[in-house]
Amino acid sequence: MRAIRVAAAALLGVAALSLTAPAAHAARSGDITSFGFGVAPSTIAPGGEVTLSVDGCHRRTTVSSGVFDTVVIPRGQSSATALVDRDARPGTVYEVTFRCGDESGRTDLTIATGHPTHHPTHHPTRGSHAGAGGTLAGFDLQEIGLGAALVAGSLGAAWHWSRRRPEDESHT
């Protein structure tokens, strides 16, 4: 009976660990690149302005999407802006493609409801790479916390089940 409980606890632990794998961040083909890229904000109203950023591309970067005109980020610069089409349909997710030399990567841009937002921004030619806001190495901190809670819970349950004595079974 004890071996069954230990096996069940081990299986529960393995299942919890497999659930914490970053499946949500599994890359689509072409998304693993030697350069970093991003769109900010990732949700914008029709007619709004987005900042297109690239890091680690030592060539000119071409950025294209069905929701704005093609933009070129010149070699030696890290960002450019694009004006989202005013007739973009709210609630639609558009793919944005960054091409640096022979490599390309994709990310999504969501069209929100509301009025366009234009924020005056200063874009230095050489800024520091600060990462993507709210993430840690591309992982969402909320997902990391949930995964850690699942692992801790399954390890606690496994420890509890493995420590139960036969006399404890009469109370269950």
The pLDDT tens digits of the residues spanning 127-169 come to 444 555 555 555 566 777 778 888 888 888 888 878 876 665 5
CA distance 161 to 40: 48
* Residues 13/153, Cβ–Cβ less than 8 Å: no
Instruction: Using the structure block, give the residue that is written with the tokens 């990391």.
Output: 144
Q: What angle do CA 141, 151, 29 make, to 5 degrees?
A: 55
- Closest-CA residue to 94 (of 61, 46, 142): 46
Higher-scoring residue by pLDDT: 30, 83: 83
pLDDT at res. 45: 92
* Distance spanning both ends of the chain, measured CA to CA: 15
What are the strands of the beta sheet with 49-55, ordered from one edge? 36-40, 49-55, 79-83
**Percentage of the chain modeled with pLDDT above 90:** 41
pLDDT at res. 10: 60
pLDDT at res. 138: 55
Letter for the amino acid at 122? H
pLDDT at res. 72: 95
Higher-scoring residue by pLDDT: 70, 165: 70
CA distance 63 to 53: 10
The pLDDT tens digits of the residues spanning 73-88 come to 999 899 999 999 999 9
Query: Which span out of 13-27, 67-81, 103-117 was modeled with the highest average pLDDT?
Result: 67-81
pLDDT grade for 55, boundaries at 50, 70 and 90:
very high
Give the pTM: 0.51
